[in-house]
Amino acid sequence: MSLRGSYGLAAADFSVAQDWGAYAAEEHALFRRLFERQAKLVPRYACAEWIEALARLDAGSGIPRFDRVSAKLRAATGWEIVAVPGLIPDDAFFTHLANRRFPVTVWLRQPEEFDYIVEPDVFHDFFGHVPLLFDPVYADHLHEYGKGGLKAMRLDAVKMLARLYWYTIEFGLMKTHDGIRAYGAGLISSGGELAYCVTDPAPKRLDFDLETALRTDYQIDRYQTTYFVIDSFAQLMRDTAPDFTPVYDRLRNLPVLAP
């Protein structure tokens, strides 16, 4: 697959300048349209932590300035965002997370990709991922995930750990007093799957189980057929805290589960 960002301009850690002034008025307008569509859905389908966090970001007026958001994030949880040209290699990605830096793609999708885009763009990365970095428990968990990623590279277990990311950070659901809600960025930033994941009777919604998530394959080009449901970010933190080394060793000898 060839990626569409400008990788030639990136530093060794794959960061680039955001160059906010270079966005066209049409791009800010498209970002606003994406924002407005999702803003109508999230009160009903997103978890309270995400909704509260969004209120701290004035992201509705166009593509945000990363430096301003980083200043707020640093004050809240010690995270910042770094601009990147798109998907970056595992070691660069994990190193950023392990240093409380979240990589956000600089470019925005084309208007014809309003409903669906294969590669993450600034709308997915920003709207989907950044708000929860204001939640202290989530913020600490993602930091631990980054350190765990560097460790998984040494243990040749990145594929397993990536499944966990998929079923939590990207497509995770949470049990709340108001019923099932989404917290995964892939859901929060999706025009169609956000309502589907909460209300459609078709997909399985399993109680989160670490080993099952590490073992379950995923499909990137359709709505998920299985979601994992956590009780709280504290549970996610707790269940992922143990040393994964023996878990990886055991799971390596077991078959991968179909999605």
CB of 184 to Co ion, least distance (A): 8
CB of 125 to Co ion, least distance (A): 6
* List 241, 254, 256, 257, residue binding ligand PHE (CB under 6 A): 241
**DSSP states of 202-254:** SSEEEEP-HHHHHHB---SSS--SEEEEES-HHHHHHHT-S--HHHHHHHHTS
Tell me whether residue 190 is one of the annotated catalytic residues.
no
Q: Residues 252, 219: contact at Cβ < 8 Å?
A: no
Residue type present at position 234: A
The verdict on 166 binding ligand PHE (CB under 6 A) reads: no
Considering beta carbons, is residue 126 or 244 the nearer one to ligand PHE? Answer: 244
The verdict on 151 binding ligand PHE (CB under 6 A) reads: yes
The verdict on 185 binding Co ion (CB under 5 A) reads: yes
* List 90, 144, 211, 231, residue binding ligand PHE (CB under 6 A): 144
- Residues near ligand PHE (CB under 6 A), total: 10
CA distance 231 to 180: 10
Nearest Cα residue to 187 out of 149, 228, 158: 228
Spell out the alpha helix ranges (H) of 15-108.
Answer: 25-45, 48-54, 66-77, 90-98
27, 96, 143, 189: the catalytic one is 189
The verdict on 41 binding Co ion (CB under 5 A) reads: no
Nearest Cα residue to 249 out of 157, 151, 154, 164: 157
CA angle 117, 41, 188 (to 5 degrees): 45
Tell me whether residue 124 is one of the annotated catalytic residues.
yes
Residue type present at position 16: V
The one segment of 112-120, 140-148, 188-196, 224-232 that binds ligand PHE by CB under 6 A? 140-148
15, 96, 124, 190: the catalytic one is 124
Tell me whether residue 15 is one of the annotated catalytic residues.
no
Tell me whether residue 112 is one of the annotated catalytic residues.
no
The verdict on 182 binding Co ion (CB under 5 A) reads: no
Q: Strand pairing of 179-182 and 173-176?
A: antiparallel
Catalytic residues: 124, 129, 170, 189
- The residues that touch ligand PHE, with contacts defined as CB under 6 A, are 144-145, 148, 151, 164, 240-244
Residues of the shown chain interacting with Co ion in the complex, contacts defined by CB under 5 A: 120, 185
